[in-house]
């Protein structure tokens, strides 16, 4: 009886080991630390107050953009009448910002405009650089004003102007520390990114109806970085998805923050890549499209596809100006127009495009090598023990 009990105990331990291996998290996952300072869940009243504050900030941003649009109007008219290329620039800054910094911003914007090949555009662009970090002191009646930028896109009332508001309160250290070439390039990169979708409007005009509804539904997450003039960049040395590109250690918390289709696209599934890109293209939309879009510092949290902000910029660079212009102005369904421009299925091109930034994601659980080896040894020991026990019984 004692021997039989020992065998049952051994079998139970082996079964527990197998079950434990089945529940081992994927390789590279670290358990979420428990914090004693974790904030409790917000109450209903708190959530309502936050919602009202967000609405107030959106209204305040819309008012500021409308005022900036009026201030830019004389310069926009002057450039239009004289056929002068370039964007109209308005710098809203305190007196502590020196004139040299303002001149550096103007020179950098002219350089970016020339590099993008925008020239004279059908849609005029006004750029507002707002250096105020704290515009007003919040009171009991008004919350703290947002420091984020935004875009006022053309609509039925004004189809010829796009306004980009950039709030670079963090630029001051760079602008006041001299003007070496590296710093100038950094300011140019900031301005290029700040132009956002206004650069697309300047280069290709107002999108066709289907393309515009699709991008509006996605808050223009695919058209944020106009990078079509550059040579194909090397993949970034670091990423919020992969700790080390050589060791392929994934940041699983960041991966799981994306929708299922985006995760499957990281795993190399072209059908899921297609779904992630075309999301929103078939959704219904009313006739009045929103004109105001906020560009906060946490815009990347709303991405439906990793690195989606570079997507249409990379498409434009690969297919060329004419083919991308036909796609941008097309009234065909988005998938049809994009497939014609890419000359291949959307999912296949997107899967190949993502390999520029990150390696292929291994889908499914992957137990660590040491745990897998231990499990195999335990299973082998259990099988050998069972075979020896059976052999003894037959001899006896």
Q: For 308-353, write each residue's pLDDT tens digit.
A: 989 999 999 999 999 999 999 999 999 999 999 999 999 999 999 9
The pLDDT of residue 32 is above 50: no
Q: Report how far residue 21's alpha carbon sits from residue 244's, in angstroms, rounded to the nearest whole number.
A: 26
Q: Give the tens place of pLDDT for each residue, 234-291.
A: 555 556 787 765 656 788 888 888 899 999 999 999 999 999 999 988 766 665 677 7
Task: Residue 256: name the closest of 42, 36, 32, 41 by CA.
Answer: 32
Average pLDDT over residues 58-75: 88
The pLDDT of residue 143 is above 70: no
pTM listed for this prediction: 0.77
What's the mean per-residue pLDDT of the chain? Answer: 79
Q: Report how far residue 390's alpha carbon sits from residue 396's, in angstroms, rounded to the nearest whole number.
A: 10
Q: Return the higher-pLDDT residue of 149 and 354.
A: 354
Confirm if 61 and 54 have CB atoms less than 8 A apart: no
pLDDT at 178: 59
Q: Report how far residue 360's alpha carbon sits from residue 354's, in angstroms, rounded to the nearest whole number.
A: 9
pLDDT at 36: 40
pLDDT at 31: 47
Backbone CA torsion sign across 336, 337, 340, 342: negative
């Amino acid at each position: 009886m004692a021997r039989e009990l020992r065998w049952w105990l051994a079998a139970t331990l082996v079964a527990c080991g197998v079950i434990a291996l089945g529940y081992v998290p994927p390789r590279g996952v670290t358990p979420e630390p428990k914090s004693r300072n974790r904030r409790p869940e917000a109450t209903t009243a708190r959530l309502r107050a936050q919602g009202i504050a967000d609405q107030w900030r959106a209204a305040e941003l819309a008012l500021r953009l409308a005022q900036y649009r009026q201030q830019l109007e004389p310069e926009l008219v002057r450039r239009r009448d004289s056929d002068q290329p370039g964007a109209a620039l308005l710098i809203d800054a305190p007196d502590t910002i020196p004139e040299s910094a303002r001149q550096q911003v103007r020179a950098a914007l002219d350089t970016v405009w020339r590099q993008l090949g925008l020239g004279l555009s059908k849609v005029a662009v006004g750029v507002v650089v707002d250096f105020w970090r704290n515009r007003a002191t919040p009171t009991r009646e008004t919350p703290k004003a947002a420091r984020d930028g935004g875009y006022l896109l053309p609509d039925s009332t004004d189809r010829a102007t796009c306004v980009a508001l950039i709030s670079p309160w963090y630029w001051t250290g760079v602008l006041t520390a001299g003007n070496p070439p590296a710093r100038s390039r950094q300011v140019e990169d900031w301005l290029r990114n700040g132009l956002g979708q206004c650069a697309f409007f300047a280069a290709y005009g107002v999108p066709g109806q289907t393309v515009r509804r699709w991008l509006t539904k996605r808050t223009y997450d695919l058209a944020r970085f106009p990078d079509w003039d550059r040579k194909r960049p090397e993949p970034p040395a670091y990423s919020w998805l992969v700790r080390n590109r050589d060791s392929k250690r994934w940041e699983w918390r960041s991966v799981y923050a994306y929708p299922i289709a985006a995760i499957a696209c990281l795993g190399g599934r072209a059908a899921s890549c297609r779904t992630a890109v075309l999301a929103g293209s078939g959704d219904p939309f009313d006739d009045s499209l929103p004109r105001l879009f906020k560009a906060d510092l946490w815009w990347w949290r709303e991405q439906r596809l990793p690195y989606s902000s570079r997507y249409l910029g990379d498409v434009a660079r690969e297919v060329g100006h004419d083919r991308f212009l036909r796609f941008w102005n097309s009234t065909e369904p988005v998938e049809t127009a994009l497939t014609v421009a890419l000359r291949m299925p959307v999912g296949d091109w997107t899967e190949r495009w993502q390999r520029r930034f990150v390696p292929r994601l291994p889908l499914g659980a992957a137990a660590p090598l040491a745990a897998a080896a231990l499990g195999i040894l335990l299973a082998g020991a259990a099988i050998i023990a069972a075979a020896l026990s059976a052999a003894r019984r037959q001899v006896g």
